[in-house]
A = this chain, B = another copy of it.
Amino acid sequence: MEQANRLFFKLYQCANMLHKTGTRAVEAEGLTTQQWAVLGALSRPQVERGMSVGALAEYLLVSRQNLSGLLSRMERDGHVKSAPDGEDRRSRLVTMTASGRRLWKSRALPKIHTYYSRALDGFSDADVTHALHYLLKLLENMKRLDDGGAR
């Protein structure tokens, strides 16, 4: 139980440091870790036409209201735009703008890769895979807790 306590405390500290150091890594681009997560989601090859707000919120595991504010700041900064979906006119599809895509690929991604290699200094490929596995498992459990509480 003491180990469990330490684990969650370290997770709490890691979360804060991720936002602090991660945001610092891309602050010259005017981005934050959250915005970087959004751009990362939208830049995936399987996302051709864009993502609806609901799908994006579900993917990032954040609330719709939170994402709404995030997206409006990113729209204000010209990184993303949203347009009504032709197929389901309730939906608005969020996509990266040309300048957002340029910023992401040419300026943000290189810095993010540098950040990854520094933050994972001393991690072997196997270490990364194992750590990822534990986080995935933990996340599954917490998702289940979340669903259970909502019932």
One complex includes copies of this chain to the number of: 2
A24 touches which of B34, B60, B131, B149 (Cβ 8 Å) = B149
A128 at the interface (CB under 8 A from B): yes
Is A30 interfacial (CB-CB < 8 Å)? no
What is the predominant secondary structure among interface residues of chain A facing chain B? helix
Interface contact A1-B116, CB-CB below 8 Å: yes
Taking CB atoms, residues of chain B closer than 8 Å to A115 are 145
Q: Do the beta carbons of B137 and A17 come within 8 Å of each other?
A: no
Q: Which residues, 1 to 24 on A, are CB-close (under 8 Å) to B?
A: 1, 3-18, 20-22, 24
Look across to chain B and name the residue whose beta carbon is closest to the beta carbon of A116: B4
- Scan residues 97-151 of chain A and give those whose CB is less than 8 A from a CB of chain B: 112-113, 115-123, 125, 127-132, 134-139, 141-143, 145-146, 149
> What is A's interface to B at a CB cutoff of 8 Å?
1, 3-18, 20-22, 24, 33-34, 37, 40, 60-62, 112-113, 115-123, 125, 127-132, 134-139, 141-143, 145-146, 149
